[in-house]
Amino acid sequence: MTTRILMCAPDYFNVAYVINPWMEGNIAHCDPALAMRQWQALAHAIGAVADLEMIEAVDGVPDMVFTANAGLVLAGKAVVSHFRHLERQREEPHFARWFAGQGMPLFRLPDDIYFEGAGDALFDRRQALLWLGWGHRSDAGSAPLLADWLDIEVQPLKLVNPRFYHLDTCFCPLEGGYLLYYPDAFDAKSRHRIAARVPAQYRIAASAGDAAAFACNAVNIGRHVFLNQASARLRKTLEEKGYQVHQIPLSEFMKAGGAAKCLTLRLDEPVATGPLPDLAPGSGPSAG
Ligand code: ARG
């Protein structure tokens, strides 16, 4: 089965407002031609191992390139995002129309509950479990709705560092059962929650430097890991576990607070079912 990923070309991408700390001082500071080349390099690399779907970019909604925030798709059902900021709420009808056009049943949040899609909701790869980041963008109140609509256990994680405002900026479950994450982005209770469900030998803690370079904002497909940049040490750790790391510079998108993972939405999430697989540490992910 081929992986399907939704992307949106940066035809109208720019930093036009400030809704996260990365955007501060960067209004109109993106190089559009460079952004296009970086996005194309990412699409080309991911396109080698996955089928890419494209949603047409819309003028006036510059953050629409970050399709991770379009919604959350599981088993052909789409939960449409409801953004906290007005600037991004304008993307909602465009993404909803695209999901509907795919024949997906749509689930919508009530007006007073925010949920920013796969940017804040990541499926565990060892067990049938959805991790939900809240505290900056999505509301914890979306957890019971997601659990009901998608028929999956949801574990909320509180994000406490404004630079890591979406879960996918600091947390990346990897096929094969490992978890790449930045512990300092979470409160103590959430770190305990993670430890309770992901054994120590499967947790890969990113350094502050790697986290700041968006190394946790990685797209993982089979053994491939696509990211902006990772230290030699982190690359070695991942490679020892069987992953192949592809570094694709995404400086222009980082000015808006996003990198590789933010620019993609997985349309066929592989959710673990049944009992926990008994993975030997170092056995790594399946080929693909
Ligand atoms: N400027 C966008 C925002 O603040 C960036 C979104 C990044 N997306 C993500 N999934 N982390 O909403």
In a domain, 31, yes or no: yes
- Ligand 1 binding pocket mutation candidate from 22, 254, 262 (most atoms within 8 A of CB): 262
pLDDT for the residue 285: 73
Domain count, the chain: 1
CA gap 109, 114 in Å, rounded: 7
Mean pLDDT along residues 248-252:
98
Q: What proportion of the chain, given as a percentage, has pLDDT over 70? A: 94
Per DSSP (E only), the strands in 214-264 are: 219-221, 224-227, 244-247
In a domain, 126, yes or no: yes
In a domain, 287, yes or no: no
| Structure tokens given for 25 | 């001082």
Q: Per-residue pLDDT for 208 more than 90?
A: yes
Is the C-beta atom of 71 inside 6 A of ligand 1? no
In a domain, 104, yes or no: yes
CA gap 103, 249 in Å, rounded: 35
Is the C-beta atom of 178 inside 6 A of ligand 1? no
In a domain, 285, yes or no: no
Mean pLDDT along residues 252-276:
89
- If one compares 283 and 45, the residue with the highest pLDDT of the two is 45
Mean pLDDT along residues 173-193:
97
Q: CATH code at 214?
A: 3.75.10.10
In a domain, 45, yes or no: yes
**pLDDT tens column, 79-134:** 999 999 999 999 999 999 999 999 999 999 999 999 999 999 999 999 999 999 99
Q: Per-residue pLDDT for 284 more than 70?
A: no
Q: Which residues of 17-42 are buried (b: 16+ CB within 10 A; e: fewer)?
A: eebbebbeebeeebeeeebeebbeeb
pLDDT for the residue 272: 72
The whole domain housing 58 covers 4-266
In a domain, 278, yes or no: no
Mean pLDDT along residues 15-19:
98
CA distances from 106 to 131, 150, 151 (A): 20, 11, 15
CA gap 135, 84 in Å, rounded: 11
Atom of ligand 1 nearest to the CA of 217: 11
Q: Per-residue pLDDT for 53 more than 80?
A: yes
Q: Per-residue pLDDT for 13 more than 60?
A: yes
In the reported structure, the alpha carbon of residue 262 is separated from the centroid of ligand 1 by a whole-number distance in angstroms of: 6
271 — pLDDT class (breaks 50, 70, 90):
confident
In a domain, 273, yes or no: no
CA gap 221, 47 in Å, rounded: 11
286 — pLDDT class (breaks 50, 70, 90):
low
